[in-house]
Amino acid sequence: MMIQQERVYWVQILERLSRPVLANLSKGMLKARMPFAGDKQRREYASLEVSGRLLNGIAPWLELNLEGEEGELHRELGDLARQALAVGTDETSPDFFNFSDGDQPLVDAAFLAQALLRAPTALWEKLNPRVQRNLIAGFIKTRAIQPYFCNWLLFSALIEAALFRLGGDYDPMRVDYACRQLEHWYMGDGTYSDGPEFHWDYYNSFVIQPMLLDLVETFRTERDDLNNLCPILLKRAQRQGVILERLIAPDGTFPPIGRSITYRMGVFHLLAQLAWAEKLPASLTPAQVRCGLSAVLQRTMEVPGTFDAQGWLTIGLAGHQPALGEVYISTASTYLCATALLPLGLPSTAPFWSAPAVPYTSLRIWNGEQAVLPDQPLPGSRWPLG
């Protein structure tokens, strides 16, 4: 695939994911029109769940200034996203975001909060002041939800980070507690356990490391200890990024390990974030990561059954596979796959998009090419906080 065609393809995937969600939510028709697979009791979470996850992935692209055909789509979807947030925070709307009933709202309010941190102009400054006030009020409501003793601590902390950045009152204790506890759960070689026990899954990429990076970055000018932690967390994230890149097979598949595998290409959230932030480790070039992620996009998005006849995502990894979905997986939750699209937040002139194609690691190895694999594991030491 030519370089220019590659970005066009990524944008096509972004539009395919975004249009059904944003077009319907902006009209207050999301719950009425979105087919709902999974536990029917989770329908009450659908509007916040799907919008928080989708916007989390496309926020950097919405933050760009774009021209031409891509710019036209950018303006259209940006307007729809802001209208969707207005509808979602309107208590008279049938798609009103549930910020406080049950425990799931804590998760998706955090994904939405992270989206606002990633697009402060497009998804915050351009909002009507009434919508801004409603969002802050919604985030504050989530404080009534007690997080589980695992990656959920980061959901509470990320919401407080957004409140801090958006000018609301925030609770520093929730931030401090999450950072301290995650340090206790660092296991070494760029990997955290998800709670007291290790789980072999992709939650280091789905949630833990992307949220940790954004959390400490938000507060680095506020707290010296978190500022000092930033380079430590980045080294760990870069090591995890190397591991993720190695997991992309020559055909674009990857090991179906652990829970939430129906987030599809969202498995590579952290790798995509490092590429977007232009903080990839020296052993990974932007071009090889682009080629690897493009292979994953094609492998997960082009399988028949991935989208239904109306263009909505289905539950599955390679097509429609509802049996792969855990009890908490619904149509809405599958949209976390959008996080793999974070590099679209880079302009087309950035090396990620402009550099010639470079085979990713497994492609080189299994084609019999020479490949240097610098595998120096990171130690398991923890950083003393405070």
The confidence score (pLDDT) of residue 370 equals 79
Quote the tokens at residue 24: 């319907």
* Residue 379 pLDDT grade (very low, low, confident, very high; cuts 50, 70, 90): low
Average pLDDT score over residue span 112-125? 98
Give which of 346, 359, 353 is closest to 4, Cα–Cα.
353
Residue 376 in this model has a pLDDT that exceeds 70:
no
Average pLDDT score over residue span 239-266? 97
Place of tokens 């090889």: 288
The confidence score (pLDDT) of residue 41 equals 83
Residue 374 in this model has a pLDDT that exceeds 80:
no
Neighbours of 180 (CB within 10 A): 16
d(CA 215, CA 161): 6
Sequence ranges of the domains in the chain = 3-366
Give yes or no for a contact between 107 and 152, defined as CB atoms under 8 angstroms apart. Answer: yes
- Mean pLDDT score across all residues of the chain: 95
Q: What percent of the chain has pLDDT over 90?
A: 91
pTM across the whole model: 0.96
The confidence score (pLDDT) of residue 311 equals 97
**pLDDT 10s digits, 37-58:** 888 888 999 999 999 999 999 9
**pLDDT 10s digits, 126-142:** 999 999 999 999 999 99
Give which of 174, 247, 142 is closest to 204, Cα–Cα.
247
Helical packing angle, 3-25 and 68-88, nearest 10°: 30
Residue 384 in this model has a pLDDT that exceeds 80:
no
Which overall architecture, per CATH, does domain 3-366 show?
Answer: Alpha/alpha barrel (1.50)
Give yes or no for a contact between 115 and 56, defined as CB atoms under 8 angstroms apart. Answer: yes
Residue 261 in this model has a pLDDT that exceeds 60:
yes
